[in-house]
């Protein structure tokens, strides 16, 4: 219980820090960078629920990112939904899609799971491209996304949009945190480490994987909705395989064993991209070199490395205390 109150306090602190950004007169470029990072951060964090906590490497997670974006955008363009209504509709569509795709994929392991998710993603991507009258094809949703007021909130105003995205982002991160620290989260780790033993203990492994798959997809869908609100459109590249690859890069750059590692990786990747694009058109080459250095040099993300060193120091300090207590006890017996 104390841990949950601590997490709630940290979530409120994070939200407060995000809300202070516009108050301190941050430039629109910084606010745009943060909103962009929040959308892709949710994609990376949700994917890490599969990769880092369950051991399921998905190459097709961006399809849920795009599903949320397109469902929300199309609902708003129909003019029949308010923003909360379209938000809920997009979540329901993404969850249903994840339920169908996940029911097929989670029965496979390792490379078979990875390639099947990739196959579903390419199928979804080709539906987006081919259904031109509905999705706009390779041009994406044309005409922008209407943003009617609701509850006195006007998302056409960039500051109010930033606040809305910040609240949605922090709520999703808090939900993910509760998931990974709950008994369900520890069940995911058990499946990741030894799913045969988990099954032997009576855990319905496919059902737990499916539940994790749907939760992860819904959080990715929220990321897609935030990006749709930010760019006022939805585009095929949201669901292309390279977007899934970027999310995997974010996890590798930040670390998969620390809860906020993928979010740190998102910031690193966006910064690398924004800086290198100012000097060279070979951005992918620079990113490739950075990832090679991390993989071959550190063999883990920076946050994973810091967490490991902190844990080693903590254990060393605890061992030193135990050794000192043993020496005192020995002196007492000798005396």
pLDDT in tens, 282-308: 777 887 787 777 777 766 777 777 777
Question: What pLDDT is stored for residue 69 in this prediction?
Answer: 93
Q: What sign does the dihedral 182-188-192-198 (CA atoms) show?
A: positive
Q: Where are the alpha helices (DSSP H) in the chain?
A: 2-23, 28-54, 62-78, 83-105, 110-130, 132-135, 158-181, 183-200, 205-231, 241-254, 261-276, 283-293, 302-334
Question: What pLDDT is stored for residue 2 in this prediction?
Answer: 65
CB 124 within 8 A of CB 244: no
Task: Please give the radius of gyration of the chain, using alpha carbons only, rounded to the nearest integer.
Answer: 22
Q: Comparing C-alpha atoms, which of 54, 85, 57, 53 is closest to residue 72?
A: 85
* Residue numbers in the chain where pLDDT is lower than 50: none
What is the three-class DSSP state of 204?
coil
Question: What pLDDT is stored for residue 335 in this prediction?
Answer: 64
């Amino acid at each position: 219980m104390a841990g949950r109150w601590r997490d709630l306090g940290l979530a409120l602190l994070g939200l407060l820090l995000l809300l202070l950004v516009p108050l301190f007169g941050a430039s629109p470029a910084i606010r745009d960078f943060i909103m962009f990072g929040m959308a892709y951060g949710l994609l990376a964090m949700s994917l890490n629920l599969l990769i880092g906590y369950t051991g399921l490497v998905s190459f097709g997670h961006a399809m849920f990112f795009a599903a949320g974006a397109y469902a929300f955008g199309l609902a708003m363009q129909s003019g029949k939904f308010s923003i909360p209504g379209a938000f809920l509709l997009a979540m329901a569509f993404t969850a249903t899609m994840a339920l169908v795709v996940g029911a097929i994929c989670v029965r496979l392991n390792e490379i078979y799971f990875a390639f099947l998710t990739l196959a579903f993603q390419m199928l979804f991507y080709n539906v987006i491209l081919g259904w031109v009258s509905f999705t706009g094809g390779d041009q994406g949703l044309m005409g922008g996304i209407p943003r009617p007021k609701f509850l006195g909130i006007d998302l056409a105003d960039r500051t109010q949009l930033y606040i809305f995205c910040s609240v949605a982002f922090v709520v999703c991160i808090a939900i993910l945190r509760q998931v990974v620290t709950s008994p369900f989260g520890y069940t995911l780790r058990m499946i990741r480490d030894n799913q045969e033993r988990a099954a032997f203990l009576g855990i319905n492994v496919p059902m737990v994987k499916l539940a994790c798959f749907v939760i992860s997809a819904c959080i990715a869908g929220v990321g897609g909705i935030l990006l749709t609100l930010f760019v006022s459109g939805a585009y095929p590249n949201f669901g292309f395989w390279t977007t899934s690859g970027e999310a995997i890069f974010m996890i590798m750059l930040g670390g998969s064993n620390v809860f906020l590692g993928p979010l740190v990786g998102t910031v690193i990747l966006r910064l690398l991209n924004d800086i290198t694009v100012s000097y060279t058109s070979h951005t992918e080459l620079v990113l490739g070199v950075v990832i090679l250095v991390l993989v071959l040099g550190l063999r883990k993300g920076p946050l994973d490395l810091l967490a490991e060193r902190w844990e080693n120091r903590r254990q060393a300090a605890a061992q030193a205390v135990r050794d000192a207590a043993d020496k005192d006890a020995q002196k007492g017996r000798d005396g």
